[in-house]
Amino acid sequence: MTPPATAPFSGEKILITGPTSQVALPVARALAADNEVYGLARFSNDDDRQKVEGLGVRTIAADLASSPLDEVPQDLSVVLHFAVVKTGDFDYDLAANAEGVGRLMEHTRPSKGFLHCSTAGVYEEAGHGPLKETDPFGDNHRVMMPTYSICKIAAESMVRFGSRQWNVPTTVARFSVPYGDNGGWPWFHLMMMQGGVPIPVSKNPPSLYNLIHEDDYIRMIPRLIEIADVPPVTVNWGGSEATSIEEWCAYLGELTGLEPKFNPTDETLGSVTLDPTKMHDLVGETQVSWRDGLARMVKARNPELLKG
């Protein structure tokens, strides 16, 4: 079944958290053209704040762990919650990620919907099998980011509570690997290839994920808000086609002539492959193939590396 088409946002009053990030900056850029957009972050770097304001976004400096939210409007139609804290300090990270999203929901209570960007990192590692929304939770990012999976699981619990408590239509979207002209994990691998640095991969290859291009995740956001409900709708959010680190690095090598070197190790993530069935039914399929997306990324960020 193909879900109905959803028009892009226009004339909405939107809050985006984490607008300086690789993921949310393109979202802020896209939405600021036709909407009243606010961006909330700590803004410890003034250059980052100026960059976001240059997009036409009204910035709000706040720490979700502790800051008052007085500057955040209470007549928002949409909240897009992308902010995440990964300091490694459990007390602070839980306060910012789990308690923080609860404080944000209580204060904003958007009229149309709240999108909580979660992660495929909430799932228990399951080899190469595709993971459904009903599969068990696990601490699968511990080896690289000790607080990440646990804080994301805690945040999902808070979001489910907040949605019911304050009657906030909500979607919990479990993100895979975002990338695009603004960078992402494949771009870091490209930089490692350029520097001759071995790329960590699982000892149980291939290292499968669902790359999702910024064009696709920006396009899908209005539909993710449209399906928001009380209690929340939980859906995987990634590319319709899974691919692996080994495969995308080999393709980056074809584009550039650089040779990827791999370091099989236990000190990295294993495969986290999403089952996109529910996403396809509720939101639709992604449209940017990972090969086309990677070629565009290299052309946008490092055209000097392209062969020819």
pLDDT tens digit at each of 308 positions of the chain: 678 878 899 999 999 999 999 999 999 999 999 999 999 999 999 999 999 999 999 999 999 999 999 999 999 999 999 999 999 999 999 999 999 999 999 999 999 999 999 999 999 988 889 999 999 999 988 888 899 999 999 999 999 999 999 999 999 999 999 999 999 999 999 999 999 999 999 999 999 999 999 999 999 999 999 999 999 999 999 999 999 999 999 999 999 999 999 999 999 988 999 999 999 999 999 999 999 999 999 999 999 999 97
Q: What is the DSSP letter of 175?
A: E
pLDDT computed for residue 127 by the predictor: 85
pLDDT value of position 166: 98
Distance, in Å, from the CA atom of 150 to the CA atom of 137, rounded to the nearest integer, reads 9
Domain limits of the chain?
13-182+212-239+275-286
pLDDT score of 90: 96
Residue type, 96: A
Give the architecture-level CATH label for domain 13-182+212-239+275-286. Answer: 3-Layer(aba) Sandwich (3.40)
SS3 190: helix
CA angle 119, 162, 147 (to 5 degrees): 35
Give me the pLDDT at residue 1, please. Answer: 62
Q: Give the amino acid at 2.
A: T
Angstrom CA distances, 208 to 31, 44, 75, 243, 262, stand at 31, 35, 41, 5, 15
Number of H helices and E strands in the chain, helices first, is 10, 14
